Amino acid sequence: MRVLKELNEYQAVRDAYQWDIPARVNMAYQVCDRHAEIIPDKIGLIVAHPDGTQRDYNWAELAGLSNKMANFLKSHGINRGERIGILLSQCVEAAISHVAAWKIGAVSIPLFSLFGEEALSFRLNDSGAKVIITESIHLTKIEAIRDQLPELKLIVVIDGEGSDGTVDLWRGLEQASDHFEILDTAATDPAYIVYTSGTTGNPKGALQGHRSLLGHMPAVEFFHDFLPQTDDLMWTPADWAWIGGLMNCLMGAWFHGVPVLAHRAPKYDPKHALELMAKYKVRNTFMPPTALKLMWAIPDIPSYGVNLRTIACAGEPMGAELLDWGRKSFGVTLNEFYGQTECNLVVANCQKIMPIKPGSMGRPIPGHYVAVINQDGHEVPANTVGQIAVRAPDPVIMLEYWNNPQATTDKYIGEWLLTGDQGQIDEDGYFWFVGRDDDVITSSGYRIGPGEIEDCLTKHPAVSLAAAIGVPDKLRTEIIKVFIKLIPGENGTKELEDDIRTFVRTRLSPHEYPRVIEFIEDLPLTSTGKIMRKDLRDQEAAKTPKD
């Protein structure tokens, strides 16, 4: 059942929509079991294996497997409200782990498979995760931090190659019943935590409730030109560990019973992505602009036979050139959208019912009240720069930051949730991104907090102090540059640069390592000892030649 009415004009669609959030709702039923009741034999998930083979799962199988998983978790003493880490990329086990967690009233935590030891240790320890579901290739990392995780009771391995102290998932599922009664949950009961990078310190866990899926649906339908349509099939290269992959694509499609393609590529390859979409007849995709820019270099894209109906794009500003390229290459107008982990999918384009203005994020998605406000919380006139904010209550807004009430309070001015992004609205109601009023780095579609990188760098034996900023890059929007003050006696050699990059890459994640390193005598600090990243960014900007 589509939540938006498919009308011919933006304002008509917006006027016709109002929220209908039940007091009692469970996301597992919405995305899985209700389809098993109505269309049990229809395919819900296609797993494309690296060797070229595939495994299709219909809704009856997905419901049965997630029921088994729910019983398996319950048999190990996992109960309502407890947290379950899911360290898996796109695969059936990742999908059913989230669904099973919601069935028992637990809270799932998607974890990026490329996270290093420190990144995992913080998230698992901060959340108090009782379980981690993963595969054998990650066990070395988990074992290295095991003594830092006093709450972790169960390590579940999906490929049956665990060691002592782990549990084989599929063996456990074989012994579990495929019948389970979904726990009755309130719309505001916790469902999942996605950790988001901020400007200072460690990441914060955005806690979302079961209402979250319904909060996402107007947007998913909007920027996919009124999903679902006949033969729709969703795929994204974005990892399901991020809210963009998990909610915008996997669960957003599953709400409507739209099949999803799962594929675990070791690294994004634009040619392979084209071949994959053609082979499996993908009709809908979410592509970060960096993925599209890499695809730009592929000659004669129409010859691959890709037949997309919609391309949604977000994470970095999309200009006129990329928009024109998309039309020429795929015969599709890219729909850009905007949102954050704390308040996802609130502004977007829908080319079917509104003109697209290149460079604009679009207009508010039906159901959401989005504005540009000043520091006092008052809306500003058109074409005036201010902070982009979303008015609460709104079902897509997080319940809170996990274990961080002060950060939750600081996220608001009155009824307005602050995005931390500066923007303006034109006279037609289109939003334009101007810049961030914080220090978050946007690189290849990832929002990366400098605090976590700096904290990691200071643990390197040669580093005394470090600061991380984003510097402009044509392909990735920004790349990470770090300024490092070394301890006395150390010299900034090429070998040390390489060692520092490896240090960050292995402890945090490959997408967080610094591509540019500058050794510096002193860093600009405030009177209270805080790094003045703005001064560093201004210094970098001054080095850039003006057109």
Q: Check: CATH 2.60.120.1440 for 441-543? A: no
**Spatial distance between the Cα atoms of 400 and 408, rounded to a whole number of angstroms:** 6
Phi, psi of 371 (to 5 degrees): -145, 170
- Which pLDDT score, from 0 to 100, does residue 359 have? 86
- Which pLDDT score, from 0 to 100, does residue 526 have? 57
- Which pLDDT score, from 0 to 100, does residue 319 have? 74
| pLDDT tens by residue, 409-443 | 999 999 999 998 888 999 999 999 877 666 778 88
Q: Among all chains, which residue has been given the structure tokens 């002592």?
A: 164
Residue with the bigger pLDDT between 114 and 187: it is: 187
- Which pLDDT score, from 0 to 100, does residue 413 have? 97
Q: Is 275 left (phi over 0), alpha (psi -120 to 50) or beta?
A: alpha
Does residue 105 contact residue 185 with C-beta atoms inside 8 Å?
yes
- Which pLDDT score, from 0 to 100, does residue 528 have? 47
Q: Among all chains, which residue has been given the structure tokens 């390489």?
A: 498
**Spatial distance between the Cα atoms of 471 and 60, rounded to a whole number of angstroms:** 49
Report the pLDDT averaged over residues 203-215. 97
Query: pTM above the 0.75 mark?
Result: yes
**Spatial distance between the Cα atoms of 48 and 544, rounded to a whole number of angstroms:** 44
Q: What is the CA radius of gyration of the chain?
A: 23
Residues 6+ away with beta carbon under 8 Å from 267? none
Look at residues 233, 237, 295 and name the one whose alpha carbon lies nearest to residue 270. 295
| pLDDT tens by residue, 504-546 | 999 999 989 999 999 999 888 754 456 788 889 888 888 876 6
Equal CATH topology for 28-36+54-209 and 441-543: no
Residues 6+ away with beta carbon under 8 Å from 403? 126, 205
338-347, 393-402, 452-461, 481-490: range with lowest mean pLDDT: 452-461
Look at residues 307, 285, 283, 308 and name the one whose alpha carbon lies nearest to residue 231. 283
Residues 6+ away with beta carbon under 8 Å from 259? 42, 43, 44, 45, 46, 233, 234, 253
- Which pLDDT score, from 0 to 100, does residue 296 have? 87
Checking if the pLDDT of 199 tops 60, the result is no
Domain boundaries, given as residue ranges, for the chain: 28-36+54-209, 441-543
DSSP string, 205-243: EEEEETTHHHHHHHHHHHHTTSS--TT--EE-SS-TTSH
| pLDDT tens by residue, 47-59 | 999 899 999 999 9
- Which pLDDT score, from 0 to 100, does residue 93 have? 98
CATH class of 28-36+54-209: alpha beta
Does residue 110 contact residue 193 with C-beta atoms inside 8 Å?
no
Mean pLDDT of the chain, nearest integer:
93
**Spatial distance between the Cα atoms of 547 and 531, rounded to a whole number of angstroms:** 30
| pLDDT tens by residue, 297-326 | 899 999 999 999 999 998 766 778 889 999
Checking if the pLDDT of 397 tops 50, the result is yes
Percent of the chain with pLDDT over 90: 79
- Which pLDDT score, from 0 to 100, does residue 30 have? 98
| pLDDT tens by residue, 265-303 | 888 899 999 999 999 999 999 998 778 888 988 999 999
Report the pLDDT averaged over residues 463-485. 91
Residues 6+ away with beta carbon under 8 Å from 324? none
Report the pLDDT averaged over residues 143-160. 95
